[in-house]
Structure 1
Amino acid sequence: MPDISVGTQIFDLIFHPSSSVVYLGLLTGHIKAFSYDDEGGHDVEFTVRPSKRSCRALAISEDGNRVWAAGKAKAMYTVDTGTGRIVDTWSNAHDTAINRLKSLTPTLLASGDDDGVIKLWDPRNANSIRTYTHHFDFISDFLWLGDRKQLVSTSGDGTLSVIDVRSKKSEPIAQSEDQEDELLSIVPIKGGQKFAVGTQLGILSIFNRRSGWGDCVDRIPGHPHSIDTLASLPTTFSPSETTILTGSSDGLLRAVQLFPTKLLGVVADHGDFPIERIVVDRGGEGRWVGSAGHEEVLKLTDLQEIFGGDEEEEEEEEEDGSGDEEKAKTHAGEEDSEGEDSEAEGESSGKEEGPGLPPVSPRKRPTPEEEAQPVADADSSGDEGIVERKRKRKKEKDPLKASKRTKGRNEVVAEPSFFADL
């Protein structure tokens, strides 16, 4: 699909959960919505500018009817996706610029700012529900664990924390030790049992939920620059549980397989521009991945072309193989039927014919005079006919063997049936 040019830097992007629409938060404060199709076309749905300051963060409701936006203006805005109008404004939502937003449930929204403050909101009310101040540097990413009702946050202060939104305490239930590196992004792997965290030094830190959140259980180096953003591979592609998409400041969007660690390839190239955000459409289960950097364009890459090719080839091979087997069976059935017909004809006509051999007359029943002859004469005359007939049959017993040659140098002797299934 052609790149979607927006004319300015893209800070954040998010897809509609059920429609082919993408929303972009821009440096100029604009929020732009684009519709796209599988043929590569795209159209502008609406453009709105709630603030003249940059729009750094976007979040969307589960039904896709509302988009929340926030940024350097310290305020939060609600946009109706159907009309493209601002329907609500929360002024001074934070004391500093808001860096991340995350929609948790239909009645719960999370926000994180540059000072590490996290707030929980009910979109129906103007005031925050709870405030957390355990981080002291910017909030870089959020991850929602729906099965435990827990919010995981990563921060520039080098720690990761876990908040139970059901608890009334304004402190996390767990916080990691200082990883001595900025934690920039997080994504689940292994069905949500483990988590990969991108860092400033280009190392993927692996956390295991069963081992607790105190420290990582593994570190995977390899990226030459910082891992600013991560995304999960849709479950329709294999191996999705151990493959993630990484966006690095070197401008490359990579597909990386973990356990064992393997670089599957480069999905998109942004040149010398760092990648700020990567998101997969349709709630993370679509075929398009959007990536945005500093080059003022949105790249939409078709994952089906990258990860679906092997499956299609296997299906085609299976279809071809089954077709060959059916053809072989049909051919064998025709040969059997032809053989049966020829045998039936031979029996009815009283003749036995072989490839390249003259027809052999049927044996006559001996007359009483012939039966009365000495046994030696009968054996001698019968042996000549039988021997002669046997010699002829020996030549034609298996005509394929006549084509066999003694194995010479650099030659391979194989049965012709070997080539039947090729």
Structure 2
Amino acid sequence: MTMKFKDFDRDTSDESEMEEDFDSDSDEDDVENTDTPDNETTKEEQNNEDDDDEDDDDEVIKAIKAEKNKPRDHPPNIICDDAIVDICFHPANDLIAIANMVGDILLYEYNNNETVLKETIEVHTKACRDVEFDDEGTTMYSTGKDKTIVATDVQTGKLKQCYNDAHEEPVYTLVSLDDNKIVTGDDAGTVKLWDIRKKDSIFTIKVGEDYISDMLTNEAQKYLVCAGGDGTITSIDLKGNKIYTRSEQYDAEFTCMGLFRSETKLLAASATGRLYLFNWKEFGYHSDEYIGQKKISVQCMVPITQNIVVTSGEDGILRAAHMFPQRQLGVVGQHSMPVERLDISHDGTYIASCSHNNDVKFWNITYFESIDTLINVNEKQDKKKDMSNNLPSSNYKNSSDFFSGLV
């Protein structure tokens, strides 16, 4: 079976090496180190000045530079004792759920000054792989390696429903639907639809032979799209209880998905770093293809606007890209270890990310509002430079920002 991130066994042998690359999470170390004397003009300095001159005509770069002067408040990091597998923001309140490898869910309240642990719910006997809130935020759903599906009342913490041995194989992912319904997918490619008011599942469909890495639906909730570890995209007709389409098999497993352009475009990421764009309801073959970070697995993504996506994965770096037209925007933030999951807060102010370093970080991403409308397909772009450009939320500054302060 394909190796999956959510079953990671922490190997700390490479941790020290990775920490050399990103060894600071504090704002005090924002500036990159340099041995350049203040009174010398170097070739790198000159190159950065030349880059700045070229950027003067780029409205996107101008907007990013303007946003860097604004305060970027965000909640402090959360450090956990156990490995974190999933995170999920509450849909209405400043609350985030953290699922871990020992089967617990930690509920934290957050603001710009502190993060406070409100409750620890010991809900699963093995790793809790997925935690989700319903649309109203009254019910929290969770599932995991123990094959159990649990519905918990958010306000009281009491059990609303529990399905033991819900699947024959460990459950990997879960999606909350309307009217007390949820969908679950397991390690062997089986999908089940549940109504938590009923004793048994509504239907069961086998969509593949490998694990189901991600599932999503749109507002109409007629079709459910499943990304598979076997490299296929399968859609299910939820009204007809049958498979709607199945894509051709791709050369790597699909890891995560997102919806864009008023839910008319589906973006799917693969373990090779490639991003595939599908038209909604046309899941047989992609309409466009992008190369993200070469040979680095994109493990998670979160849509920020109708056009902008933030992705991350095994290199621990959160990157933003504009999809229509395609352009790399830069680095949103960094972890010293691979990133497991991303989510966006109910008000769109923060992204949260969790890594194999048992930490959750918050990134203030309100600056994207001023960038989204400025992308021009006809502008000259430098993809390599854009991919390494540190955005206002990043822990690090660009070298050009440092040199500009010396003149």
TM-score, normalization by structure 1:
0.68
Q: Alpha-carbon deviation of 1:148?
A: 5.3
- Matches of 2:173 and 2:165, distance apart in 1: 15
The equivalent residue for 1:21 is 95
Task: Tell me which of 263, 269, 280 is aligned to 2:328.
Answer: 263
Matched residue type, 1:200: A
The equivalent residue for 1:407 is none
The equivalent residue for 1:243 is 308
- Matches of 2:292 and 2:131, distance apart in 1: 30
Decide whether the 8 Å contact of 1:177 with 1:215 is kept in 2. Answer: yes
User: Residue 309 and residue 165 in structure 1: after superposition, are their counterparts in 2 closer, same or farther (change >3 A)?
Assistant: closer
- Matches of 2:369 and 2:236, distance apart in 1: 37
Task: Tell me which of 244, 250, 270 is aligned to 1:173.
Answer: 244
The equivalent residue for 2:109 is 35
Decide whether the 8 Å contact of 2:350 with 2:365 is kept in 1. Answer: yes
The equivalent residue for 2:161 is 88
Q: Alpha-carbon deviation of 1:107?
A: 2.7
The equivalent residue for 1:280 is 344
The answer to whether the aligner puts 1:109 opposite 2:186 as a matched pair is: no
Decide whether the 8 Å contact of 2:161 with 2:196 is kept in 1. Answer: no
The equivalent residue for 1:205 is 276
Q: Alpha-carbon deviation of 1:51?
A: 2.4
- Matches of 1:162 and 1:73, distance apart in 2: 26
The equivalent residue for 1:144 is 217
- Matches of 1:7 and 1:72, distance apart in 2: 19
Who wins on radius of gyration, i.e. which is larger? Answer: 1
**Cα distance per residue 1:50-84 (max 9 Å; x no partner):** 22311001121121111111111001112221122
**Secondary structure of residue in 2 paired with 1:216:** coil
| Unpaired stretches in structure 1, ≥5 consecutive residues | 234-239, 312-422
- Matches of 2:370 and 2:76, distance apart in 1: 21
**Secondary structure of residue in 2 paired with 1:132:** strand
- Matches of 1:308 and 1:230, distance apart in 2: 18
The equivalent residue for 1:226 is 297
**Cα distance per residue 1:393-417 (max 9 Å; x no partner):** xxxxxxxxxxxxxxxxxxxxxxxxx
- Matches of 2:326 and 2:263, distance apart in 1: 18
**Secondary structure of residue in 1 paired with 2:199:** coil
**RCO greater where, 1 or 2, for CA within 8 Å and sep 6 or more?**
2
The answer to whether the aligner puts 1:298 opposite 2:360 as a matched pair is: yes
Decide whether the 8 Å contact of 1:135 with 1:155 is kept in 2. Answer: yes
Q: Alpha-carbon deviation of 1:260?
A: 2.6
TM-score, normalization by structure 2:
0.70
- Matches of 2:353 and 2:312, distance apart in 1: 8
- Matches of 2:87 and 2:186, distance apart in 1: 18
Decide whether the 8 Å contact of 1:154 with 1:160 is kept in 2. Answer: yes
User: Residue 97 and residue 21 in structure 1: after superposition, are their counterparts in 2 closer, same or farther (change >3 A)?
Assistant: same
- Matches of 2:81 and 2:163, distance apart in 1: 28
- Matches of 2:207 and 2:125, distance apart in 1: 31
Q: Alpha-carbon deviation of 1:147?
A: 2.4
Matched residue type, 2:368: F
Q: Alpha-carbon deviation of 1:279?
A: 0.6
| Unpaired stretches in structure 2, ≥5 consecutive residues | 1-74, 373-407
The answer to whether the aligner puts 1:125 opposite 2:190 as a matched pair is: no
Matched residue type, 1:195: L
- Matches of 1:213 and 1:129, distance apart in 2: 25
Q: Alpha-carbon deviation of 1:159?
A: 0.6
Matched residue type, 1:95: E
- Matches of 1:299 and 1:164, distance apart in 2: 37
Task: Tell me which of 42, 45, 68 is aligned to 2:118.
Answer: 45
**Secondary structure of residue in 2 paired with 1:188:** strand
- Matches of 1:152 and 1:61, distance apart in 2: 18
Aligned residue-pair number: 297
Q: Which runs of 4+ in 1 moved over 6 A?
A: none
Q: Alpha-carbon deviation of 1:310?
A: 6.4
- Matches of 2:90 and 2:175, distance apart in 1: 14
Q: Alpha-carbon deviation of 1:13?
A: 1.1
- Matches of 1:135 and 1:67, distance apart in 2: 28
The equivalent residue for 1:307 is 368
Identity of paired residues, percent? 28
Q: Alpha-carbon deviation of 1:222?
A: 3.0
User: Residue 221 and residue 310 in structure 1: after superposition, are their counterparts in 2 closer, same or farther (change >3 A)?
Assistant: closer
- Matches of 1:113 and 1:202, distance apart in 2: 23
Decide whether the 8 Å contact of 1:61 with 1:106 is kept in 2. Answer: no
Decide whether the 8 Å contact of 1:99 with 1:139 is kept in 2. Answer: yes
User: Residue 274 and residue 163 in structure 1: after superposition, are their counterparts in 2 closer, same or farther (change >3 A)?
Assistant: same
Task: Tell me which of 167, 173, 187 is aligned to 1:100.
Answer: 173
Decide whether the 8 Å contact of 1:62 with 1:106 is kept in 2. Answer: no
Decide whether the 8 Å contact of 2:248 with 2:284 is kept in 1. Answer: yes
Decide whether the 8 Å contact of 2:143 with 2:149 is kept in 1. Answer: yes
The equivalent residue for 1:395 is none
Q: Alpha-carbon deviation of 1:190?
A: 2.0
Q: Considering only aligned residues, what root-mean-square deviation do their CA atoms show, in Å?
A: 1.6
Decide whether the 8 Å contact of 2:177 with 2:221 is kept in 1. Answer: no
- Matches of 1:254 and 1:130, distance apart in 2: 38
